[in-house]
Copies of this chain bind each other. A is one copy, B any other.
Amino acid sequence: MLKIRKAVKQDWHGIYKILSEIIKKGDTYAIEPDAGEQELKELWMAKPKACFVAMEKGEVAGSYYLKTNQQGGGSHVCNAGYIVHPDIRGKGIGRGMCAHSLETALEMGYEAMQYNLVVSTNQDAVHLWKSMGFAIAGTLPEAFRHPEEGPVDAFVMYRLL
């Protein structure tokens, strides 16, 4: 039974364990693979407007952040990022968090959600976001350097709320 709630300070350790593993691989997020813990905390928990955790059996199973994507005339569009514990993928945790984030974004007054850089080789993610109503708004040629596959395309994905 998945429970999604606002992250509190004490959740950081659990989030960091998942996030640092994912970042280290360097194949999905446009974050330096050797980013320090403080930098990741700023980026995932401190700076965003909201940070949530998905809890399973009292442990952090996943997390997402929500933030304003652009300022001024673009401030009604939000951006979100999601991580799921590598050992418990494919159980709907990502989907559950995405659905939760769409509801939360609407409650917060946003009118659209945008993912700025979805690595095209990350097909599970692309498939999931599509099934959640996102469209590939654009393709950025060779915009991501995949550690194994070299330069690969990235997608901008977008949906109105």
Q: Which residues of A contact B (CB under 8 A)?
A: 23, 26-27, 29-33, 35, 70-77, 111-112, 114, 116-117, 119, 136-147, 154, 156, 158, 160
Contact = CB atoms under 8 A, between A and B. Distances in A.
Contacts of A73: 26-27, 29-30, 119, 144-147
Contacts of A27: 73
Nearest to A154: B74
Nearest to A145: B73
A140 B158 contact: yes
B156 A156 contact: yes
A30 B72 CA distance: 5
A72 B33 contact: yes
23 contacts: A26-B72, A26-B73, A27-B73, A30-B73, A30-B74, A31-B72, A32-B72, A33-B72, A35-B71, A70-B117, A73-B144, A74-B117, A74-B143, A74-B144, A74-B145, A77-B143, A114-B143, A116-B116, A137-B156, A138-B139, A138-B158, A140-B158, A141-B158
